[in-house]
Structure 1
Amino acid sequence: METMNSDDDKINVNTIERIISVGFGALLLRSSLKKFNLLKTIPSIYLIYRGITGRCLLYNAIDLDSTERHNVNVRSYFTINKPREELYQYWRNLENLPSFMEHLLSVKVQENKSTWTAKIPGYHREITWDAEIVKDEPNELIGWQSIRNPLIFNAGKVVFKDAPNNQGTEITVIFSYRPPAGILGEGLAKVLNKPLEYLIANEVRGFKQIMETGERATNKLNKE
């Protein structure tokens, strides 16, 4: 005899929301039992059920699943008046990245792994994560991603192509990050996406300046 799985049995509430549901439900239940109040008791029991089982009837009705995570991609394109071999070599030495990525405080390389320390705009403390090179095509592409369950999963790649008419190199930089699952994560993605687009474009522009002139132009706004 086959067992049919219903959508009603699917867990569609992420861990953070489940903890909040149980906590708030318990407080509401305690309040309702001091002086019995059916209008408080029913919602409190439902919240506790929602938190313990991970199932939300409302989410199921509107086909929402807060356990799902979606990557957010930020892209930037530049043409740099240098051969791609030179650009690749500079970028491939990951310890060079903080020279033009102002949000990066340091990158320390150990064999094929690296430890990154950064300060994120609007987040007033340092965060550190480990990463590894996942794709390396000399003079063409470098790809990397975070490992060991970082606070925010992130990955990136840079592609080097000869520009038309011997006008240097076209580079495409893609950063991908995965905010926490659920409504809180979606809100974080909306808040961070535009600042990150500006940040990445500004930092790739800094890479262009360093490679073409040997130094990065001072940005007073970044220092204040």
Structure 2
Amino acid sequence: MRLAASLLALGLPLLLAACASSGPLSSGAPPAVVPVADDYQIGVDDIVQVSVWRNPELGITAPVRPDGKISVPLIGDVMAGGRSPDAVAKELQGKLATYVIEPQVTVIVTELRSHEYLSRVRVTGAVRTPVSIPYRQGMTVLDAVLAAGGVTEFAAADRSSLHRKNGDGAQAYGVQLDNILNAGDLSTNYKVAPGDVITVPERVL
């Protein structure tokens, strides 16, 4: 519980900044979520697996260091951060050619650690348990709200909003959460994107 609270606290400044700069609610739906590109850029702390065909002793599995590099047998340090796995593999093949005949190198990111924090979806306001959860492809507003335990009895659910980063600010989209939860109306059950913030305000008594 303390860990979850700490993660949420870390995201709170970003959440407040996003909500403050969102401006009026958009009348339309948020843009479609673009799938993660195949040309993934390796980041610091990602776990990278390097395999050399027929030369298993040259393979490694290691995190990318803070300087963005990994250490490979025979070669030494190679820059991996900010590059695609294919680009790193091609560089390794070129350097290993001095020691191995026609090396075939595969580079795979086995754990995406560097983007995990930025890719979280946050739910705050009048929900049972405000949460910061990892983004999953296909996740919707309802999925995120249910992960937060649903809304409280004090929620003004139909005045909920989804905030999405847009350039230097953020755009807010109205979510009729009461209709989603109680009427089965999924017209505003939008698919969320990495970094989205969902806010559920309380009723004015």
Instruction: Give the TM-score band, short-chain normalised.
Output: under 0.3
Q: Which has the higher helix share?
A: 1
Question: Which structure has the larger Rg?
Answer: 1
Structure 1-normalised TM-score? Answer: 0.21
TM-score (structure 2 length as normaliser): 0.22
Pick 1 or 2: higher relative contact order, CA cutoff 8 A, min separation 6. Answer: 2
